[in-house]
Structure 1
């Protein structure tokens, strides 16, 4: 299996923008937190989060191609098909591949939360994740005019597919994001 260091180097070869690097780091740490919660493989789940949008800078203007370029790159690098499938399943409207296991469902429903949490931090007076609370994230999740790029329909599937109340999904995700706040500059 590809190591975390190899995955991060691969990500940096294909993603240049700091915002998108931060999005990947957020998805990685959130996936690791949920793997820990569910007693699953943290390394595997984290790498899936780290690589999930690695083709974004190639496909942002052609969303129907999103995840296809990533699958091509990952296969060329010899990355395990389990990771490739998870990357593709996180965007089924482009890939045609639906999330089919807990890891894929977790990535699909929680990676959007990282953007919401960053947006919540940026409206704080100090612009810090430490100032964001579970209740403020839940409130902003319900505010459709806030962070409009966040697909709330997907996020709102998390309680059902993960078997957790939304409050727990938010708490696990926010705690994870706050643990790397310094690395994210937040």
Structure 2
């Protein structure tokens, strides 16, 4: 996939907004993008990619993250999501590696995660949502006040963010070949870089 193909981040963002009205789902897509793109940057560094090659890889990672749940609002059932979305992407000519990674982020699809892109999406999806939840329960509502130890403690609390699959978070880190602690810290840092866009910069302390 290259920038000249026309399958750009801007086009992906437009497609996401065409199918998604929920502000929380849009923010989730951006949070996942923050983490997945950071994984892409690390992969590009490992491959010594520069210039257009690096740009193309990062675009692919961003696009995949933005579009992984774009059909969810209209088709949330397990027999529709992400299959409906992938069919739309195929019809529009989006690269197959993106389809495969999106299918792979849903364990029930049965599609194996064989590429770094697919593993990164799976590893970051549930965690990005969990880190957002951890931020929003802070008095400051800030991602900058989220720490690894606190996240791991919250993961043990099954009543907290109960919709988040803890096993996927743990398995995702293992598939990337990193420790859970390192992966949590990595994604916190990635989301901190985009805190304003994610609405997680926090609220001012009026007591000061």
Q: TM-score under structure 1 normalisation?
A: 0.93
In 2, are the aligned partners of 1:31 and 1:42 still within 8 Å (CA)? no
What is residue 64 of structure 1 aligned with on the other side?
79
User: Structure 1 CA distance, aligned partners of 2:130 and 2:173?
Assistant: 17
Which blocks of at least 5 consecutive residues in structure 2 are unaligned? Answer: 2-6, 48-56, 201-208
Secondary structure, counterpart of 2:112 in structure 1: coil
Instruction: Please say if residues 123 and 173 of structure 2, whose CA atoms lie closer than 8 Å, have aligned partners that are also in contact.
Output: no
**Counterpart-to-counterpart distance in 2, 1:128 and 1:92:** 31
The CA deviation string for residues 6-61 of structure 1, in whole angstroms up to 9 with x for no partner, is: 1111111011100000110111110011111233622211211111011101222x
Match of 1:16 in 2: 21
Q: CA RMSD in A?
A: 1.4
1:88 paired residue number? 103
- 1:76 is paired with a residue whose SS is helix
Corresponding residue of 2:60? 44
Maintained 8 Å contact 2:155/2:166: yes
- Residue 32 of structure 2, aligned match among 27, 32, 44: 27
Q: How far 1:153 moved relative to its partner?
A: 1.0
User: Offset at 1:100?
Assistant: 1.8
Larger radius of gyration: 2
Q: Secondary structure at the match of 2:163?
A: coil
* Residue of structure 2 in register with 1:55 after alignment: 71
Gaps of 5+ in 1: none
| Distance in 1 between residues matched to 2:154 and 2:42, nearest whole Å | 24
Q: Using the alignment, how far apart are the partners of 2:24 and 2:101 within structure 1?
A: 22
Q: What's the counterpart of residue 138 of structure 2?
A: 124
2:154 counterpart (128, 134, 140): 140
Paired positions, count: 184
Distance 2:174 2:127 in 1: 16
Runs of 4+ aligned residues of structure 1 deviating over 3 Å after TM superposition are none
Partner-residue secondary structure (3-state), 2:114: coil
In structure 1, how many angstroms separate the alpha carbons of the residues matched to 2:122 and 2:131?
16
Please give the alpha-carbon distance, in whole angstroms, between the structure 1 residues aligned to 2:31 and 2:61.
12
1:158/1:164 contact within 8 Å kept: no
Contact 1:90/1:98 (CA < 8 Å) preserved in 2? no
